[in-house]
Structure 1
Amino acid sequence: MRRLLLTNAIAFTLAAPLPALAGDDDTATTLDRVQVVSTRLQQVPAFDTPASLSTVDVDGRAASAGVNVSDLLRGVPGLLARDRQNYAQDTQLSLRGFGARSTFGVRGVRLYADGIPATMPDGQGQVSHFALAGAERIEVLRGPFSALHGNSSGGVVQIFSADGDAPTQGHMQASLGRDDSRSFGASLRGVDGAFGYALAGNLFETDGWREHSAARRQSLNAKLHYDLPGDGRLRLVANHFNAPNAQDPLGLTWAQVRENPRQATAVAEQFDTRKSAEQDQAGLVWEQPLGDGHSLRAMAYAGTREIEQYLPLPTGAQANPLNSGGVIDLDNDYGGADLRWSWRGELAGREFELTAGGNFDRQRQHRLGYENFVGTALGVRGALRRDERNRTDNFDQYAQAWWRFAPRWSLLAGVRHSRVRFESRDAYVTARNPDDSGAVEYAQTTPVAGLAFSPNDDLRFYLSAGRGFETPTFNELGYRADGGAGLAFDLKPAVSRNLEFGGKWRNGDGASLEAALFRADTDDELAVARNVGGRSSYRNVGRARREGFELAAGLPLGERWRFDLAYTWLDAQFRDSFPICTAAGCTNPSVRVAAGTRIPGTARQQLDARLGWRSGGWEAALEAIGVGDVTVNDPGSARAPGYVLLGFEFAREWRFGTQSLRGFARVDNLLDKAYVGSVIVNEGNGRYYEPGPGRGLLLGLRWQWAAEDAP
């Protein structure tokens, strides 16, 4: 019955444009040629691809401080982006249920910034260094074709900064918000002959909505290009991110949420929990047409990321000689390269595009652990408890082809082979702490294919299928489920089989509609086995399924009004029963999670709706955001209630020749509703909940300018 309802829903949503099918023309009209970077197609528009792909334009019109990527990702179906009100932890991102269980950073979703991977070879990534001040657009790819990006590709999120362009132009923006939050951003871009540049930076400070949550962030981004003979281009991208001593208020129990959602957990103050992160990276991209439809693209990148984090680990837990302490000192050096060849031409007299290439990525990690106390002083660096050097390498080969084999039919197919190797060398070996060195290697081949049908110029139907995989990260390999010494090299990668059926419609007036049914069946799903002494260990728990329905619609209502809607229904559940530990200090899993239990961190329903108005220089919008309840642990015994929030924004723009001044105001949580904005899945102390903020006002000014055209 559920599948029948979903099938009827997608058929109904696409029925409106069906009358336009009338017509005898047997040739498909060529649409606007827009490069689809996420699918690695050079000359095929997103509208023609058999995949769910959303593009968010970052044009400076959003009433946002330009700090949290979650502000810009509202309205993307299938994507749940949670601002945690905790800048010691990264934004939570999940796509169609993939990545929902991540307690820190982003895992299960592939991230890129200007084509440079923001996800490490082990599958762990972060969006904190995404430079929003100079961003031009964000692409979000969902469904089977995500697998063409390799390990941990339950979905793909890419941010692109603007290129240098003529005339020279720039902007400055300042905003003030609740809790003494201040943000200042600026950008400058232009060209000088064959040379182009785009520079951007942002400074953000806040006292934090919750106690013990103050933070400061700095980001700089530079994108330079040089045009080469034969329409080639060389791009250099470099960025810097620094967030020193961001306070961590930790999660709350449900009783604490009801008592005072703005409080920090007592041990957060006691141990002065905090995190410092600094990252520098650079990447070089060369693109060169070779003639006769051939082209090459080469990319190389390198970077460093340093983390220091103070945890609230009790001193008693560190009496265990195998415990690695309550202070993490982590140095990451990483880099890689990608080389691909593409050819555009004809096969059997029909349009054809072929791409083949390979890439490797490397991660070198020096992980130190220290006690978080010295004598009776807490929250300070103490004795050394861990010293290991980890390395992860992957080497992948891939190929894909797109072919319009009939006037109204096209095929996109690809395959990727990935090999990922983990190795650890333990330098902290004592009489009571044995050598934890070891290595493991995973390999997987992931094919994917999609068929698209074009009944007329404005309507597409598609069906796609593929396979993806997700290895454990080094954090998940770090501790064995049986409590023994060494890393959990018995963990297997989770392998998924993905299927999607969808449709896309648009018209010349700017209206659009996209809908998709999807299913992903996973074997060897990874989940928490136990939490002991402040450390989580993981195990493979059998089969899981994520299936659902997505809808995105945009509807102009006359010249001044527009309505946008995004809706997601997701059923994500474990299909096999498995045992877990639930009591504090448990080492023998005895409580069984029943088959059919919902995967924690996932919401069954999600809705984003926006009614916008524009007249001359005036703009206003009313938004509604709804998220269903979310379970927070594997047994499903605790959950965060669902909520609906309203937001209102207003803006006025004044133009002075080639300059403009834009003032904006935004009120979030208009009705001051109490709610839980994000959750910490399977938190060992029952502190699952991170409350969302009450009603808040954001005020900002943005000045944009462009040089006068040369005579």
Structure 2
Amino acid sequence: MRPGKAWTIPALTLGLLVSTGAMADDTTLPAVQVNATRLDIPPFDLPASLSVIRVAPGASSKPGVNLSEALVGVPGILARDRQNYAQDEQVSLRGFGARSTFGVRGVRLYADGIPATMPDGQGQASHFSLDGADRIEVLRGPFSALYGNASGGVMQIWSAEGGTPAQVRVGLFAGSDASMRMGASARGMQGAFDYNLALSHFQTQGYRDHSRAQRESGNARLGFDLGSAGHLIVVANTLALPQAQDPLGLTRSQAWADPRQAAAPAYQFDTRKSVHQSQLGAVYEVSSSEQTQWRLMAYYGNRGVQQVLPVPVAAQRNPLSAGGVVDLDSDYGGVDARWTHRATLLGRPVELTAGASYDDQDQHRRGYENFAGSTLGVTGRLRRDEDDRVWNLDPYAQLYWRFAERWSALVGVRQSTVRFRSDDRYVTADNPDDSGSVRYRATLPVAGVQFRATDWLHLHASFGKGFETPTFAELSYRADGGAGLAFNLRPAVSQQGELGAKWHAAGSWSVDGALFRADTRNELAVASNVGGRASYRTIGRSRREGAEFAAQGELGPGWRLQLAATHVRARFLSPFLTCVPAGCTTPATPVAAGARIPGVPANYGSARLEHGGSLGWRVGVELQGVDAVTVNDLGRERAPGYLLTGVDLAYALPLGPSRLTLSARVDNLFDRRVIGSVIVNEGNGRYYEPAPGRTLMFGAQLAF
């Protein structure tokens, strides 16, 4: 699509929303309460782009391994399975977060209201439990600023409440590449106590060589109805990744010659990662009156990571090198206290929320050589030892006011303070004390207004200021090659705006569309990538703008359609210098203003057509399309776009009071050769992470 025509389809889409709405019946849909904006407001009445995805374990032919399985039909978000469980999924939203080489950054993550993103902005979705989930909420645009250190948006997963009758579900999936997943969950209620427990085990040999992985996870949500004393929810989860091999990226020629291969250094150093995490949290809510509610959330967790990297032995001869084995032990926790009051202002209903959040992460970071003598891929001498701490303190307030019969406004502000500190415990004659600290602060206002054109057509506009600090991973290595953290990096600040329309017709049909733009200053870019280490620097301005569209509903008896499409034009607005040749340490090659931000496709989308009910046969067809994407700042190489087709078939039959569901699924039906994800600005030119060809998955699930 040429830039000059990029806005034609979105503009027509919004026009279609208005004109189609004029033909609908005057119908008021039942409210579905969500928690994305911390207010007791249905998503249809919010001046923001919000998607709510219902998760129905046992009703899907997908194994529930990756978060991307549940995001079909959600606009704006792009979740790409790396086929590399040492690096987690690659998640971006409206172009934010695409440069992350591991984990999730630029998009804040929450599980049952408890942060899965650390105070520095780095998040992990690997402990999200689809077995116990009720829904996923994806908030896009300016109102993500109300969560602090995030620019692109907010994604939350919520566990289902236990109920009656009690239900137990067990499932087994097995398929291509010796992949197997077992899961079990139990939900129920005993008087004032309800529970939701889920356990899973996953293992795979991997599509690519040297990509074997094993993962166990558990999640528990316990609810206590305390009567007039309030309501208490306790959430506990664990994650064990004993070992996940890392096949690394491939060059273009390698990916096309043999997409299953791993890069040579992966074998030489036996690149791999292990993770162990445990976390406990609680949410207490109580109403002091019919108009006033108090909420207190607290959590604590520990996460340990050990990773062997392919850092060349020669690069570690530098006395400032941190080695090639990373050993992280993190204790983290936080609290969030919130007050909500409902009243009237000038005779119209108003809801006010005020609160403050504090999050803290203490991380013991050690680095070791990845060799001992002539043996590679082992833990050698200590080369880095430091205590790193980051905390944030964020007071916030927001107000929702229906100031007229058809008009409402949502305004808010958050004062965000993030402080990093590093205490160096590895000091030698050749490696000086690199302790230091830095503090970032920003005031983040946001405002939106909604016009209810009819009961079934709502229009909105919103604007806000976003804030994104460097993560510890990006601060870890200085661009000048020195030891210690890169305290000279500045936070990225974004101005975001959005125009949107929501049409919810009679029955179950809903159509949503939005035009958006985000202008960022102090964009972060790779300064150099040498010896397996990426360093970053602050450059100038950038812009991400585009449009998104989503629709879902019933086509006829038993037929249901979901579809979503997103267009993003992501560009650097300021020229800067970048590194090109392997081993480059000083950026010298110019990148012109207007260059595409790498890792962000111009167009992407998904669709699913399904037929069937809770019993008997169910068949589904899915399409997922992604445009070509540049892989480095210069745009000289790119991963081609693709359109993938998946089909699934399931049969559910009653067995007395139980139900057995058998399923089969084929992904990449036409066996396309695909680059599933890219490693932006990889210093050795190994940008490409191939996705599997045609794969099969068979499942059996029993609910009783």
**TM tier relative to shorter chain:** over 0.9
Q: What is residue 314 of structure 1 aligned with on the other side?
A: 312
- The 1:30/1:409 distance shift into structure 2, 3 A limit, reads farther
Give the 3-state SS of the residue equivalent to 1:405 in structure 2.
coil
Aligned mates of 1:228, 1:253 — CA distance in 2: 59
Following TM superposition, by how much is the alpha carbon of 1:21 offset from its aligned partner in structure 2, in angstroms? Answer: 8.0
Q: Show the 5 A alignment for 1:488-507.
A: 488-507=486-505
Q: What is residue 653 of structure 1 aligned with on the other side?
A: 652
Please say if residues 461 and 504 of structure 1, whose CA atoms lie closer than 8 Å, have aligned partners that are also in contact: yes
Q: 1:517 aligns with which of 515, 518, 521?
A: 515
Aligned mates of 1:3, 1:495 — CA distance in 2: 26
Q: What is residue 272 of structure 2 aligned with on the other side?
A: 274
**2:597 aligned partner, one-letter code:** I
Q: What is residue 661 of structure 2 aligned with on the other side?
A: 662
Q: What is residue 59 of structure 1 aligned with on the other side?
A: 56
Q: What is residue 426 of structure 1 aligned with on the other side?
A: 424
**Structure 1 range deviating more: 9-18 or 591-600:** 9-18
- The 1:562/1:31 distance shift into structure 2, 3 A limit, reads closer
Q: What is residue 564 of structure 1 aligned with on the other side?
A: 562
Aligned mates of 1:74, 1:341 — CA distance in 2: 35
- 1:230-256 deviation digits (Å, cap 9, x = unpaired): 272111100010001111111000010
Q: What is residue 187 of structure 2 aligned with on the other side?
A: 189
Aligned mates of 1:152, 1:320 — CA distance in 2: 35
Q: What is residue 26 of structure 1 aligned with on the other side?
A: none
Indicate yes or no: 2:372 matched with 1:374.
Answer: yes
Please say if residues 666 and 696 of structure 2, whose CA atoms lie closer than 8 Å, have aligned partners that are also in contact: yes
Q: Show the 5 A alignment for 1:482-493.
A: 482-493=480-491
Following TM superposition, by how much is the alpha carbon of 1:10 offset from its aligned partner in structure 2, in angstroms? Answer: 3.3
Q: Show the 5 A alignment for 1:629-644.
A: 629-644=628-643
**2:261 aligned partner, one-letter code:** Q
Q: What is residue 703 of structure 2 aligned with on the other side?
A: 704
Q: 2:22 aligns with which of 11, 19, 22?
A: 19
Q: What is residue 405 of structure 1 aligned with on the other side?
A: 403
Following TM superposition, by how much is the alpha carbon of 1:588 offset from its aligned partner in structure 2, in angstroms? Answer: 2.0
- 1:123-176 deviation digits (Å, cap 9, x = unpaired): 001101111211111111101101100002411111111112122112111111
**1:63 aligned partner, one-letter code:** S
Aligned mates of 1:678, 1:264 — CA distance in 2: 15
Aligned mates of 2:305, 2:114 — CA distance in 1: 20
Q: 1:47 aligns with which of 44, 48, 60?
A: 44
Give the 3-state SS of the residue equivalent to 2:256 in structure 1.
helix
Give the 3-state SS of the residue equivalent to 1:456 in structure 2.
coil
**2:699 aligned partner, one-letter code:** G
Give the 3-state SS of the residue equivalent to 2:131 in structure 1.
helix
Q: What is residue 549 of structure 2 aligned with on the other side?
A: 551
Give the 3-state SS of the residue equivalent to 1:132 in structure 2.
coil
Indicate yes or no: 2:248 matched with 1:250.
Answer: yes
Q: What is residue 468 of structure 2 aligned with on the other side?
A: 470
Give the 3-state SS of the residue equivalent to 1:307 in structure 2.
strand
Please say if residues 13 and 515 of structure 1, whose CA atoms lie closer than 8 Å, have aligned partners that are also in contact: no
Q: What is residue 622 of structure 2 aligned with on the other side?
A: 623
Please say if residues 323 and 533 of structure 1, whose CA atoms lie closer than 8 Å, have aligned partners that are also in contact: no
Please say if residues 31 and 45 of structure 1, whose CA atoms lie closer than 8 Å, have aligned partners that are also in contact: no
Aligned mates of 2:453, 2:178 — CA distance in 1: 54
**2:326 aligned partner, one-letter code:** I
Following TM superposition, by how much is the alpha carbon of 1:532 offset from its aligned partner in structure 2, in angstroms? Answer: 2.3
Please say if residues 70 and 81 of structure 1, whose CA atoms lie closer than 8 Å, have aligned partners that are also in contact: yes
**2:565 aligned partner, one-letter code:** Y
- The 1:522/1:374 distance shift into structure 2, 3 A limit, reads same
Aligned mates of 2:435, 2:631 — CA distance in 1: 33
Following TM superposition, by how much is the alpha carbon of 1:190 offset from its aligned partner in structure 2, in angstroms? Answer: 1.2
Q: What is residue 692 of structure 1 aligned with on the other side?
A: 691
**Structure 1 range deviating more: 10-19 or 568-577:** 10-19
Indicate yes or no: 2:145 matched with 1:127.
Answer: no
Following TM superposition, by how much is the alpha carbon of 1:189 offset from its aligned partner in structure 2, in angstroms? Answer: 1.5
Q: What is residue 708 of structure 1 aligned with on the other side?
A: none
Give the 3-state SS of the residue equivalent to 2:402 in structure 1.
strand
Indicate the RMSD between aligned Cα atoms, in angstroms: 1.4
Contiguous gaps of at least 5 residues in structure 2: none
Aligned mates of 1:11, 1:173 — CA distance in 2: 42
Q: What is residue 294 of structure 1 aligned with on the other side?
A: 292
Please say if residues 90 and 128 of structure 1, whose CA atoms lie closer than 8 Å, have aligned partners that are also in contact: yes
Please say if residues 144 and 150 of structure 2, whose CA atoms lie closer than 8 Å, have aligned partners that are also in contact: no
Give the 3-state SS of the residue equivalent to 2:22 in structure 1.
helix
Following TM superposition, by how much is the alpha carbon of 1:636 offset from its aligned partner in structure 2, in angstroms? Answer: 1.0
- 1:615-669 deviation digits (Å, cap 9, x = unpaired): 6521111111110001111111111000011110111111245421111111000
TM-score, L = length of structure 2: 0.97
Indicate yes or no: 2:206 matched with 1:203.
Answer: no
**2:56 aligned partner, one-letter code:** D
Aligned mates of 1:76, 1:650 — CA distance in 2: 22
Contiguous gaps of at least 5 residues in structure 1: 24-28, 706-711
Sequence identity percentage: 57
Following TM superposition, by how much is the alpha carbon of 1:484 offset from its aligned partner in structure 2, in angstroms? Answer: 2.8
Following TM superposition, by how much is the alpha carbon of 1:464 offset from its aligned partner in structure 2, in angstroms? Answer: 0.5
**Structure 1 range deviating more: 235-244 or 552-561:** 552-561
Q: Show the 5 A alignment for 1:6-155.
A: 8-20=11-23, 32-42=30-40, 44-60=41-57, 61-155=59-153
Please say if residues 618 and 653 of structure 1, whose CA atoms lie closer than 8 Å, have aligned partners that are also in contact: yes
Please say if residues 389 and 426 of structure 1, whose CA atoms lie closer than 8 Å, have aligned partners that are also in contact: yes
Indicate yes or no: 2:537 matched with 1:539.
Answer: yes
Indicate yes or no: 2:675 matched with 1:676.
Answer: yes
Give the 3-state SS of the residue equivalent to 2:393 in structure 1.
strand
Aligned mates of 1:13, 1:367 — CA distance in 2: 54
Give the 3-state SS of the residue equivalent to 1:14 in structure 2.
helix
**Structure 1 range deviating more: 164-173 or 373-382:** 164-173
Following TM superposition, by how much is the alpha carbon of 1:20 offset from its aligned partner in structure 2, in angstroms? Answer: 4.0
- The 1:4/1:670 distance shift into structure 2, 3 A limit, reads closer
Aligned mates of 2:459, 2:226 — CA distance in 1: 40
TM-score, L = length of structure 1: 0.96
Please say if residues 10 and 548 of structure 2, whose CA atoms lie closer than 8 Å, have aligned partners that are also in contact: no
Please say if residues 181 and 204 of structure 1, whose CA atoms lie closer than 8 Å, have aligned partners that are also in contact: yes
**Structure 1 range deviating more: 571-580 or 223-232:** 223-232
Please say if residues 6 and 517 of structure 1, whose CA atoms lie closer than 8 Å, have aligned partners that are also in contact: no
Indicate yes or no: 2:393 matched with 1:390.
Answer: no
Aligned mates of 1:178, 1:385 — CA distance in 2: 41
Aligned mates of 1:289, 1:35 — CA distance in 2: 18
Please say if residues 72 and 607 of structure 2, whose CA atoms lie closer than 8 Å, have aligned partners that are also in contact: no
Aligned mates of 1:4, 1:401 — CA distance in 2: 33
Following TM superposition, by how much is the alpha carbon of 1:11 offset from its aligned partner in structure 2, in angstroms? Answer: 3.0
**1:660 aligned partner, one-letter code:** R
Give the 3-state SS of the residue equivalent to 2:146 in structure 1.
helix
Aligned mates of 1:21, 1:601 — CA distance in 2: 40
- 1:500-558 deviation digits (Å, cap 9, x = unpaired): 00101112221111000000000110010111222111111100000001000114221
- 1:303-347 deviation digits (Å, cap 9, x = unpaired): 000000001111111001111000000001000000000011222
Q: Show the 5 A alignment for 1:301-340.
A: 301-340=299-338
Aligned mates of 1:680, 1:587 — CA distance in 2: 19
Aligned mates of 2:628, 2:397 — CA distance in 1: 41
Give the 3-state SS of the residue equivalent to 1:585 in structure 2.
coil
- 1:586-606 deviation digits (Å, cap 9, x = unpaired): 222110111111111101011
- 1:151-210 deviation digits (Å, cap 9, x = unpaired): 024111111111121221121111111111110101112111112211110001111111
Q: 2:526 aligns with which of 528, 538, 546?
A: 528
- The 1:77/1:410 distance shift into structure 2, 3 A limit, reads same
- The 1:231/1:36 distance shift into structure 2, 3 A limit, reads farther
**2:174 aligned partner, one-letter code:** L
Aligned mates of 2:320, 2:269 — CA distance in 1: 21
